[in-house]
Amino acid sequence: AQSVTQPDIHITVSEGASLELRCNYSYGATPYLFWYVQSPGQGLQLLLKYFSGDTLVQGIKGFEAEFKRSQSSFNLRKPSVHWSDAAEYFCAVGETSYDKVIFGPGTSLSVIP
């Protein structure tokens, strides 16, 4: 069965520090991969997505993610975190043969000034 795991429920980083949020998936074929962010009281916003091609994907707000097929991972990174990045981050995976996207449980990010 398809599944998405985000091993870290909560992460705290200092402002200016680097960030890496982990995402692992279990899918049969080449997946579509997404990272969404949800700020308090807000809907979800797409940060970046991977469909094919270059495995390093650039997104909005200075985020990037790398698709590693051998590790079934799609980790999100940011070199320098800002206080406004505090939010809930969701990894999501879809597959061409299915008309639905599965979301991971989310990682809550806190940023210390």
Which residues sit at the interface with another protein, rule CB under 8 A?
32, 36, 41-46, 49, 51, 90, 94, 96, 98-106
What tokens were used for 64? 């990037």
Q: Whose CA is closest to 103, among 30, 32, 51, 41?
A: 32
Q: Is residue 35 a contact partner of residue 48, using CB atoms and an 8 Å limit?
A: yes
Nearer to another protein, 43 or 53 (CB): 43
Q: Which tokens go with 24? A: 């692992």
Nearer to another protein, 15 or 108 (CB): 108
Shortest reach from residue 26's CB to another protein, in Å: 16
Give SS3 for 20: strand
* Smallest gap from residue 50 Cβ to another protein (A): 11
For another protein, the closer CB: 81 or 93: 93
Least Cβ distance, residue 86 to another protein (angstroms): 18
Task: Give Rg (Cα) of the chain.
Answer: 14
